[in-house]
Chains A and B, each alone.
Chain A
């Protein structure tokens, strides 16, 4: 603070002034307006719930009235391999889900690893393998919310990551089925 003395010219306007300055004019109104508009944008889809959320890759549209490609890996009693189509509660669940979409099921048998990789490449739509939500693949593929709990194990199906319309449709179906599932299924 070493200023040359010659530079100091007190002016009447610079005399006692409060140190607490007037705050720079903020714009609360524009913020409020933006938020209000945002609220509307947020609420509009709620009104027309159909078709929201949407799929980035249109999985649900492709499956409806078409083919549901299901990968399965044997894991009794959930999925049991037979000479024909697989059986077990999870196989039946997927069959019933396909019916709600008027789709036919195309089964594909492989190892769990290969099926998850196929899911990542979007070559299958759903994987059933008696999976639980503790499976480490949950970071790479989309697990549904548990459709059944046995002890501490929460059983889930796997689907394509980010295909939210399809996942919501599948979860809605699973939620409706929860009551209908036999509670006595034991691994």
Chain B
């Protein structure tokens, strides 16, 4: 059976890939520490509870990144001739479904808390003989959940673009947006301190809404990926300029009379097919097909396999 060539990152990207893995391990450790701090200080605050859930959920992209990176580098085999690249898309789908569903649950939960006019109680704790209001500890935990996350997000964004990793990109964006969650929760707790019982639930609704929005954006993208959407750039979802390069390469071949092609994303690599109408009395067709296909594959590391098929003619609307 013809299998895909085993995928390896080009040498210049290996350091970026290693750093991304390191940062994702750091992210996991950091998020667990935040979640633990938040859990210990949560009390009865709905905003804290929501922020805690968001924190736990933001573990999923990092964890799925690690699982996926282990799986995708496996060699294609008899059972999986196309390799394991889709694992990235599946991991991405899972994390976005989790985000979306839990966000929806929290939105309802927070809205009910607000409607029932539940007054959140925040008492005191004694730490090393000092008795302090738990609200201050909550704020401290939330601040710990903010600044390192901002830093991690900023570090991961450029790597995600380099490696063409949508999962990593979504993760970095979420880390970067985390400060809004923390700010909302802090305002909610300060609101409780001011005697505004509704502030907490209102902050929780804001946070839950943010989770749902994140979930929706990512879910949409994950579904598009699995449906073989044409390649888009990671950051702003524009058609990938690589498409233009492929078109130009095909158009520049003297032996090609007419052509058409398509590319699809398979995880973070591209697979594609081209259809060419060769000029008549072509004696080295097989050689030319192969050379041009290799030339296109060399355009960028992401084009992992490009297959050229000779056809007798292409209809008007098919030719590119």
| Cβ B124 vs Cβ A175 within 8 A | yes
How many A residues, CB 8 Å from partner?
47
User: B99 at the A/B interface (Cβ < 8 Å)?
Assistant: no
Whether A54 sits at the interface, judged by CB under 8 Å, is: yes
Do A8 and B247 contact each other (CB < 8 Å), given the known contacts A24-B236, A39-B143?
yes
Residues of B with C-beta under 8 A to A134? none
**Which residues of A from 31 to 59 have beta carbons under 8 Å from B?**
31, 34-35, 38-39, 41-42, 45-46, 52-58
A163 vs B44: C-alpha distance in the bound complex, in angstroms? 12
Rounded to whole Å, the gap between the CB of B149 and the closest CB of chain A is 11
CB of A125, distance to nearest CB on chain B (Å): 14
Q: Please give the distance in Å from B236's CB to the nearest CB on chain A.
A: 6
A21-B161, A172-B131 known; A55-B195 Cβ under 8 A: yes
Which B residue sits closest to A162, measured CB to CB?
A: B119
Q: How far is the CA of A160 from the CA of B123 in the complex (A)?
A: 12
Is B261 touching A1 in the complex (CB atoms < 8 A)? yes
Interface magnitude class on chain B = 35 or more
- CB contacts (< 8 Å) of B244 on chain A: these are 10, 14
Is the beta-carbon distance between A56 and B197 smaller than 8 angstroms?
yes
CB-defined interface of A157-177 with B at 8 Å, one 1/0 digit per residue?
A: 000111111011001100100
Residues of B within 8 A of A56 (CB): 119, 195-197
Given A42-B139, A172-B124, decide whether A164 and B236 contact each other with a Cβ distance below 8 A: no
Are A54 and B123 closer than 8 Å at their CB atoms?
no
- Cα distance, A46 to B139, chains bound together (Å): 12
**B275: nearest chain-A partner, CB-CB:** A2
In this complex, the member of A2, A14, A144, A164 whose beta carbon has the largest number of chain B beta carbons within 10 angstroms is A164
In chain B, what residue has the closest Cβ to A54?
B195
- Give the residue among B119, B230, B263, B320 with the most A Cβ atoms within 10 A: B119
* B271 at interface, CB cutoff 8 A: no
Interface flag for B33 (CB, 8 Å) = no
Q: How far is the CA of A20 from the CA of B160 in the complex (A)?
A: 10
CA–CA, A165 and B133, complex, Å: 10
Using a CB–CB cutoff of 8 Å, the interface residues on chain A facing chain B are: 1-5, 8, 10, 14, 16-17, 19-21, 23-24, 26, 28, 31, 34-35, 38-39, 41-42, 45-46, 52-58, 142, 144-145, 160-165, 167-168, 171-172, 175
